[in-house]
Structure 1
Amino acid sequence: MISTVAALVVPVVRSAGSYRSPQSDEAPGTVQTPSGPLTPLDRDFVKRVRLAGLWEIPAGRMALAKGGTPEVKTAGQHLIDGHTDLDRATLETAQTLGMEVPSEPNVQQKAWLKQLNDAEGPEFDRLFANILRSAHGQVFAVVAQVRAGTQNSTVRDLATVANSTVLDHMSVLEATRLVKFGDLSAPPSGSPSPTASAVPVPAGTPR
């Protein structure tokens, strides 16, 4: 099942945007911006998308270097291309909204990257496909929620791009034919248990 987890305090990048809210973007409550109300969920979403790129681009590079099948390598390239473009859009959004965004992966994401870095051969392929597909499936629900409900046009534009990117990545990960759909509600075997994270993460029994 999806675990509700607290946000980590992570290193951030200050985006010097044209708008500065009258209160910190870490503060609770909705603030008004030229593109509409900016809610805590909107702000959290922007940070989650930024965090996704910070670990999924390196994961994609590992797939290109270590993937044992053309399908795994293709999925890796999609991660690199998709999150490079999405990260650019995220930084532009943060600049427009005057938000701070993370500058490095969180603890859980670093643990996943270490696990992928340590794995070789078919084990790498299996972990890559299942960890990434599980994470994408959970963030997909958050993207849809924000896209459907946000009143901020800048955030809505980012959610539209993120929706397309995440759906593409889910599709290419599934095309590896390594995804165990029955286990998507639980972490893939061998992965670390979830810790506090600023993005939706797989939770449950050992992967």
Structure 2
Amino acid sequence: MKELLKIRTLFVATALALSGGLVSCDDDDNPDRRMDNQMFVSEASSSNMLEIEAGRLAVSKGQREAVRMYGQHMVEDHTAVGTEMKNLATQKGWTVPTELLQKHRNQLADLQAATTNEFDRKFAQLMVDSHEEAVDLFSDAAENDDGVADVDLRNFAASKLPALRRHLEEAKELREDVQD
């Protein structure tokens, strides 16, 4: 009986230790962690695909010309970035996901479900939220201390920050325009 209790205790402790390690990779509770190269590629690629797919929806469902134009801008800019990311990842042996991460699938599904009357507002808010997330992600990756280990990937992230910040400002302006 004592042996079974020891095994069970060891199993629970191991499970807790492993789950704690996995959780710390997904959140910001561990400021000492270095972002993994593959983690960045996966997160950035999914974020990029979200903005392309949302942009396509805006082109077809947007009620306002500004929404449709911003959507087309996202499709063009983020398609080019996706191509660059794929080329770099291929050279380095990293995998570029072909599907959205669950959080991005949920955001896209919410936008797809928007009624005609609410689409423009939801799209503009999603663009603000997704670009804030992308700016944070690319900033973290570009930093030498806490960023990704690969120098080329750090440089890639740093080179994309000005455009992402510009997209964020444009998204905030769009959100203001569609609020009325």
- Taking structure 1 as reference, are residues 148 and 65 closer, same or farther at Cα in structure 2, changes over 3 Å only? same
- Taking structure 1 as reference, are residues 78 and 153 closer, same or farther at Cα in structure 2, changes over 3 Å only? same
Between the aligned partners of 2:109 and 2:38, the Cα distance in structure 1 is: 28
Q: Root-mean-square deviation (CA), in Å?
A: 2.6
Q: Aligned to 2:133, which of 138, 145, 151? A: 138
Q: Aligned to 1:169, which of 156, 164, 167? A: 167
The structure that is strand-richer by fraction is 1
Unaligned runs of 5+ in 2: 1-23, 28-33
Between the aligned partners of 1:52 and 1:127, the Cα distance in structure 2 is: 17
Between the aligned partners of 2:72 and 2:158, the Cα distance in structure 1 is: 21
Instruction: Report what 1:76 is aligned to.
Output: 71
TM-score (norm 2): 0.71
TM-score (norm 1): 0.62
**1:142 partner SS:** helix
Q: Is residue 89 of structure 2 the alignment partner of residue 91 of structure 1?
A: no
Unaligned runs of 5+ in 1: 8-38, 181-207
Q: Which has the higher contact order (CA 8 A, sep 6+)?
A: 1
The structure that is helix-richer by fraction is 2
Structure 1 stretches of at least 4 aligned residues deviating more than 2 Å after TM superposition: 4-7, 39-43, 150-153, 177-180
Whether the 8 Å CA contact 2:121–2:175 is kept in 1: the answer is no
Q: Is residue 49 of structure 2 the alignment partner of residue 51 of structure 1?
A: no
Between the aligned partners of 1:134 and 1:79, the Cα distance in structure 2 is: 14
How many residue pairs match? The answer is: 147
**1:175 partner SS:** helix
